[in-house]
Amino acid sequence: KAGVTQTPRYLIKTRGQQVTLSCSPISGHRSVSWYQQTPGQGLQFLFEYFSETQRNKGNFPGRFSGRQFSNSRSEMNVSTLELGDSALYLCASSLASSGSRELFFGEGSRLTVL
Amino acid sequence: GEDVEQSLFLSVREGDSSVINCTYTDSSSTYLYWYKQEPGAGLQLLTYIFSNMDMKQDQRLTVLLNKKDKHLSLRIADTQTGDSAIYFCAETINDYKLSFGAGTTVTVRA
């Protein structure tokens, strides 16, 4: 079956703009998590959605938001982009919303902010 | 605190075994994971181990868990050039998120 699909794969924005990234989880998976990967901070948890509800949130400013649709697809939005938001944004899906579980990652969306 | 530690680099000869070590922090972590990341790609789940296990073997991969020392290792037998990548150790925090190490870059030389 198809894996986790993220779009777009690459994008370039300028400071102050906003961006929306999309994630389609593995069919049947209801939990979607987002992570930010940068050379300096490594992999950092952004938030998790399950059944259209944000269940958990990481330590990121309010400019970072997300949502999940009834088909489990998820989007994340970053407003008022800053240079430091340049990163690889990874989406992961799993069957369960909590507890130990297999987390499958997409290829990521690489955002460059100029 | 959340601070998974890994050595940053490992160089290994093709055909030898690779051992990547990791120290995690949360004694209540229920699962511990190993992910692989190749250049320009996302994270590939290699294997994971439940915290009540000491060892898990999956083909060329062997995971050892020392819960007392909070030490996790990944052994790759018969390392191949395709094993060159960054390997991340991760622990579950509060049952909903993964805390990752900085990653170990494994270079396989002929």
Query: How would you write A18-86 as a 3-class SS string?
Result: CEEEEEECCCCCCEEEEEEEECCCEEEEEEEEECCEEEEECCCCCCEEEEECCCCCEEEEECCCCHHHC
Kindly indicate the confidence band of residue A98, based on its pLDDT and cuts at 50, 70 and 90: low
SS3 B77: coil
Inspect the interface and report whether the beta carbons of A56 and B102 lie closer than 8 Å.
no
| Smallest CA–CA distance from B103 into chain A, residue | A42
Q: Take residue B98 and report the two structure tokens written for it.
A: 């993964």
In one-letter notation, the amino acid at residue B53 is M
Kindly indicate the confidence band of residue A96, based on its pLDDT and cuts at 50, 70 and 90: confident
On chain A, the residues whose CB falls within 8 A of the CB of B41 are 107-108
- DSSP letter string, B19-67: EEEEE---TT--EEEEEEE-TT--EEEEEEEETT-SEEEETTEEEEEET
Kindly indicate the confidence band of residue B20, based on its pLDDT and cuts at 50, 70 and 90: very high
Inspect the interface and report whether the beta carbons of A56 and B97 lie closer than 8 Å.
yes
User: In which region does residue B54 sit, left (phi positive, over 0), alpha (psi from -120 to 50) or beta (all else)?
Assistant: alpha
On chain A, the residues whose CB falls within 8 A of the CB of B43 are 90, 92, 105
Q: What is the mean pLDDT of residues A59-77?
A: 96
CA atoms within 13 A on the CB side of B66: 10
Nearest residue, CB atoms, A103 vs list B45, B102, B103:
B45
Q: What is the mean pLDDT of residues A8-22?
A: 98
Q: What is the mean pLDDT of residues B89-96?
A: 85
> Is the pLDDT reported for residue B16 higher than 50?
yes
pLDDT recorded at residue A99: 54
CA atoms within 13 A on the CB side of B9: 2
> Is the pLDDT reported for residue B1 higher than 50?
no
> Is the pLDDT reported for residue B93 higher than 90?
no
* Gap between the Cα atoms of B96 and A30, Å rounded: 14
Kindly indicate the confidence band of residue B94, based on its pLDDT and cuts at 50, 70 and 90: confident
Give the residues across from A93 on adjacent strands: A32, A104
pLDDT cut 70: percent of chain A above it: 95
pLDDT recorded at residue B96: 78
Nearest residue, CB atoms, B96 vs list A56, A105, A108:
A56
On chain A, the residues whose CB falls within 8 A of the CB of B102 are 42
The pLDDT tens digits for B21-78 are: 999 988 787 889 999 999 988 999 999 998 889 999 999 999 999 999 999 999 999 9
| Smallest CA–CA distance from B5 into chain A, residue | A42
Residues 6+ apart with CB under 8 A from B98: A35, A43, A45, A103, B33, B90, B91, B92
Kindly indicate the confidence band of residue A105, based on its pLDDT and cuts at 50, 70 and 90: very high
Mean pLDDT score of chain A, rounded to an integer?
A: 93
